[in-house]
């Protein structure tokens, strides 16, 4: 995703496209795995951690990102690629206990919880833990 594409996506999602927000959105769009705040700080280099955190929180409020705990000590973030976020676009994640990487399992849908009447789901966190293919051979 280039700068202008990131900018128009933010505008379309009713987020004022400031320079920092565009950069953070662009870096998220290029990530191959869900990233932590620290990963983003290192990847960007020019924006301080507090500003990145504020932006991520704001993106989460606008449903631009999925924020979830994966079993590592930090929250992980990824772009929500659906035009409008619904619980149906959530996929499962796999956390490798050996290399500590989190994988997106795009084809693994999150099982629907059978909620009692009156409860409406907005977000769900489904993480499978184990050993990834890269680490299998190194056990």
Considering only residues 8-67, where is the footprint of Zn ion by CB under 5 A?
A: none
Q: Which is nearer to Zn ion, 30 or 134 (CB)?
A: 134
- If DSSP codes are grouped into helix, strand and coil, which group holds residue 5? helix
| Closest CA relative to residue 22, chosen from 45, 53, 55 | 55
Least gap, CB of 84 to Zn ion (angstroms)? 8
Which residue lies nearer to Zn ion by CB, 6 or 96?
96
Residues 75-104 contacting Zn ion, CB under 5 A: 78, 80, 82, 85, 89, 96, 98-99, 104
Q: How many CB atoms lie within 10 A of CB 93?
A: 26
The phi and psi torsions of 130 (rounded to 5 degrees) equal: 170, -145
Residues that bind Zn ion (CB under 5 A): 78, 80, 82, 85, 89, 96, 98-99, 104, 132, 134-135
């Amino acid at each position: 995703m280039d700068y202008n594409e990131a900018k128009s996506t933010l505008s379309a999602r009713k987020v004022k496209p400031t320079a920092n927000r565009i950069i953070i959105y662009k870096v998220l769009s290029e990530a191959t795995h869900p990233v932590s705040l620290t990963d983003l700080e290192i990847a960007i280099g020019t924006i301080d951690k507090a500003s990145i955190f504020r932006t991520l929180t704001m993106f989460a409020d606008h449903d631009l990102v999925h924020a979830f705990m994966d079993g590592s000590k930090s929250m992980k973030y990824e772009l929500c690629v659906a035009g409008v976020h619904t619980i149906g676009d959530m996929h499962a994640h796999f956390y490798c206990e050996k290399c500590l990487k989190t994988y997106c399992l795009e084809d693994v849908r999150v099982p629907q919880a059978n909620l009692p009447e009156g409860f409406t789901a907005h977000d769900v966190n489904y993480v499978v833990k184990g050993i990834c293919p890269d680490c299998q051979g190194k056990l």
